[in-house]
Amino acid sequence: MKKKLSSFNCQRKYLDTYKQRCVSILSFFVMFALFSVSTFAQNKVSVSGKVTDSTGESIPGVSVLVKGTTLGTITDIDGNYSLTDISEDATLVFSFVGLKTQEVLIAGKTKIDLQMENDAIGMDEVVVVGYGTQKKSDITGSVTSVPADRLENIPVTNVMQAVQGAVSGMNISQVSSIPGEAPSVLIRGGGSLTASTAPYVVVDGVPITKMGGSMNDINPNDIKSIEILKDASAVAIYGMNGANGVILITTKRGKTETPTVRYSAYIGVDDFAHVPEMCSTDELLARYAEGNRINGSALYAAPLKYEYEVENYENGRTIDWIDAVSQTGIQQNHNVSISGGTEKLNYYVSADYIDQKGVIKGYNYKRYSIRTNIDAQVTDYLKIGTSSAIIHHNRDGGRANLLNAEAMSPYGRMYEEDGSYTIYPMYSETLWANPLLPTTTDPERRQYNINLNGFADLDFGKITKKLEGLSYELNAGFSYKPVRNSSYTGASVNDQLGTAVIHHYETQAYTIENILKYSRDFAKHHIDLTGVYSAQERMYTENRAQAQGFVNDELEWNRMQAGSSSSVTSFTDRYAANSQMGRLNYSYDSRYLFTATVRRDGSSVFADGKKYGTFPSVALGWNIHKESFFAGLDAVNNLKLRLSYGTSGNEALNPYRTFTTTSDVQIALAGSTNIAMVASQLGNSDLSWETKESLNIGVDFGLLNNRINGTLDVYKTKNTDLLLRRNLPAASGFGNVYSNIGQTEGKGIELTLNSVNMVKNDFKWSSTVVFTANKSEIVELYGDGEDDRGNGWYLGEAIDAVRDYDMVGIWQVDDINAGNQNGWDPVADAGDVKLADLDDSGEIDDEDRHIVGQRSPKWTGGLTNTFTYKNLSLNIFIQTVQGGMKRNAHIGMASDELQRRNSFAEIGYWTPENESNKWRSLSNNSNKHGYGFNYKNNYTRIKDVTLNYNFSKSLLQKVGVDALSIYVSGRNLYTFTDWIGWDPEEREITRGSNNWDINYPSVKTIVFGVNLTL
């Protein structure tokens, strides 16, 4: 133990030294950039002029800036401006909300008038839509682009953490802040009951979902853009993979320019976002005494309950167990990229390193990644390229147990006389072991992901004019993902036999896509045809070896044959799919838009005759603002209506569900042990596709020179032939079976609203509001009109509905003495939870339960405010989640536990003296009917605050630097909530679960970062 502490102190000193060096280097660089500047004599001129719009009207408030400097002005009420003492060969940049930014070279002129052009914000922006791109103005489906500012200067390990709350229609939950853990993502609420509801993720045209990859494999610094496809028209091109929405990620690529080197780095500290106050020593001793009074629970030596509390109690010593298992979290990231190219070859290469030390001891995460994107123009008609990445994840380390730390008495014993950890600090209580025991182990958790993707693009129009507009693209991707988890537990964690485990699993997958495109313009007509034939395959292999009974703990899992007993298991499966897709995009004069898509998918998870499904969709769009009758309506600059309807499929099942499978068991026969096979899973050869129908009506708008712009979508969905795991009677010999039965419906509204609130001199204030409301309900289950209470499914209610009693108070002594419980809850005792007798039956039974809420939020929202003054910008993002509920495991803890352990001070208990009407007694049976203790977990959170400074380009160019910015960013800074506990978003795992190590509350982070471009 002393060696470990010494090693830890050395590491800490090294880390402190490292941090000091980083700060010193950064400080030196900034000072160098600021003061190592030489000045050059130049001819100076004064320039003035007038700025007007396309109709000749003067425009006040136009920003006129000398490019590469902070020198500038704005036009007055008559549109006039003037600048003095500027270089005669400088460039002026004119910008105004809703108008195109224009640059004008002075070239010695002293008077420059400018007529600015209208700019429908974002309408000419090219958006990735899957198997191609489209102008935003021509899109007919519901496609949302993630704001660029969410992809920069927000230090996260997983890009979805930056997107959380900032995009309408997406519910992203960070249920655990374990370093390196990905958040859960749901688009438009899902609709399946037991099949997967995770969105389909595609990176550079190659899917990672179902192929073993994850969002954690993607370095946020490498991402150029993210598009979210939500409605049937947008996702139809992905057919069976589109039912839960699609996330398209495009990584950065090189451009034809001189090489650009970019270095970005940040270092920051983490701490618990909120630490609940634990019971004081007096409060805990009072709990012991009340448990003794009401239950007759023995005390070791009053007022103490346990033997190992005596020493610290008598010596006046206490231990803060939360502090003992926690530490200051530190995270750092370093990223280097180089990009550039020639007319024939472009390249982008990046290397990234992330290191996180968690706020709970032993929770560590490191990620190393390398990406190489290359594009080569082999001939005029042939272009080839690669998008390859290698990622390594390391989560090694024994993790402290927060669950046990919460339970520990402050008088508990931490160490034995020899310096080792005491196994049970509250002995003779053995339910909760020392929370630091796991830190004496050193398990391995390592994972690689190797992605090798390539493409070839053949432009037939460059070969012969007769084939102009026709092209063929071949996409191919291969991924290999090996994972190794190894662990050993021995005497230090009270495993006297010693147990070693090696768990290895790997995924190999490939994707091949053949894409044929044809695009032509005929007068005002535009046509775009896309045809796709694709194939995918994934092989999964898993091996697990375990051994027990070692003579010592020295070799851990490195010599498993030394164990006296061992077991080995293995498993493999294969998944394959192929698809054909056709899509037509047509537009007339960019006013009338039409999209039709049909996709046919085949999946190996279904039986012969059921493998294929066909999923069509159609969409219409109308750019009303381009109509002649709209020309006089100056207040509206952009107005587009969208309508789409279509179907998509879901085959999100594990392979072999159509087969009845067996498992092996050991049986004694004729005096020896034999292996026998027994049926373990009932197959269903009639399984087929779950289908999702979707209707979407949307409007894109821009008002007041697009100073206000946004998108509004209203949708309705219907999932039929659900892939439902229904329970079976015990007499069948099976627990459940998958069937195509049931139906769900969903509806919702999504709003994104952008505004420029103020532009004055060098100051600008802009805002973005996003709002999402969604409701999904079960329409039918088994065709008998009955609920499935065992699975928690109720007709006409939300998919994740919560059915529970209404708690109306606590039974008091006077109530019981007066006999008020008779004819209400005859078994009630004073201090019990008082529940409403809704059916007036004179007793509390299951019929008194009703739907009290739902797990998922009813609506979510986000507000982003960005303030810019010259080169300084401040971004503040506030997120809110409302209308959901979940069980509070701390309040709902068994009463016999509450009187035996520590808990949150805010959670009280009833006594005859305090007559609490909120908290039940510590009686072993104060919740006789199983009330669920479900509470609203609403919250509003200051999610991100980022202050960024961009150094002047004119200043930097003199020292050979293209761009330099520094920033400080805070995340999860404060949460407004009534939730009792660590965090309303956290995942709570209770005692008795093997997954205790995923109890990890929300953290707040303060980060300092730098971005440097050469």
Alpha-carbon span 517 to 519, nearest angstrom: 7
Does position 698 have pLDDT exceeding 60, yes or no? yes
Can you tell me the mean pLDDT for 594-603?
Answer: 95
Q: Between 258 and 749, name the one with better pLDDT.
A: 749
pLDDT tens digit string along 183-221? Answer: 888 888 878 887 778 888 999 988 888 888 888 899 999
One domain for residues 59 and 97: yes
- The domain in which residue 195 lies consists of 126-258
Alpha-carbon span 145 to 509, nearest angstrom: 28
Domain boundary among 115, 145, 166: 115
One domain for residues 177 and 155: yes
* 644 found inside a domain: no
One domain for residues 215 and 254: yes
Residue 692's alpha-carbon distances to 197, 225, 582, 645, in angstroms, are 12, 28, 19, 11
* 200 found inside a domain: yes
Can you tell me the mean pLDDT for 633-651?
Answer: 90
* Total domains in the fold of the chain: 3
Contact (Cβ atoms closer than 8 angstroms) between residue 183 and residue 196 = no
The four Cα atoms 353, 358, 361, 362 give a dihedral, to 10 degrees, of -40
The amino acid at 482:
P
Alpha-carbon span 793 to 782, nearest angstrom: 11
What pLDDT does 145 receive? Answer: 87
* 20 found inside a domain: yes
* 240 found inside a domain: yes
Q: What's the CATH code of the domain at 203?
A: 2.170.130.10
pLDDT tens digit string along 801-835? Answer: 999 999 999 999 999 999 999 999 999 999 999 99
One domain for residues 110 and 199: no
Q: For residue 667, what are the contacts with CB-CB under 8 A and spacing of at least 6? A: 673, 674, 675, 676
Q: For residue 682, what are the contacts with CB-CB under 8 A and spacing of at least 6? A: 660, 728, 732, 734, 736, 737
One domain for residues 87 and 175: no
Alpha-carbon span 513 to 58, nearest angstrom: 54
One domain for residues 253 and 163: yes
* 52 found inside a domain: yes
- Cα 643 off chain centre by: 29
Q: Which residues of 706-728 are buried (b: 16+ CB within 10 A; e: fewer)?
A: bbbbbbbbebebbbbbbbbbbee
* 230 found inside a domain: yes
**What helix, strand, coil percent values describe the chain, rounded to 5?**
15, 45, 40
CA angle 739, 744, 746 (to 5 degrees): 150
* 158 found inside a domain: yes
One domain for residues 161 and 225: yes
What pLDDT does 275 receive? Answer: 95
DSSP state of 380: S
Alpha-carbon span 555 to 552, nearest angstrom: 8
pLDDT band at 24, cuts 50/70/90?
Answer: very low
Contact (Cβ atoms closer than 8 angstroms) between residue 534 and residue 514 = yes
Can you tell me the mean pLDDT for 145-160?
Answer: 81
One domain for residues 159 and 91: no
Alpha-carbon span 160 to 171, nearest angstrom: 10
Can you tell me the mean pLDDT for 293-314?
Answer: 95
Token pair for residue 721? Answer: 């032939």
Does position 705 have pLDDT exceeding 50, yes or no? yes
The percentage of the chain sitting over the pLDDT mark of 90, rounded to a whole number, equals 65
Q: What's the CATH code of the domain at 54?
A: 2.60.40.1120
For 357-366, 480-489, 759-768, 969-978, which range has the lowest pLDDT when averaged over its residues? 759-768
What pLDDT does 991 receive? Answer: 78
Can you tell me the mean pLDDT for 929-950?
Answer: 95
One domain for residues 130 and 245: yes
* 664 found inside a domain: no
One domain for residues 24 and 51: no
One domain for residues 186 and 229: yes
The amino acid at 376:
A
pLDDT tens digit string along 324-334? Answer: 999 999 999 99
pLDDT band at 13, cuts 50/70/90?
Answer: very low
What pLDDT does 122 receive? Answer: 52
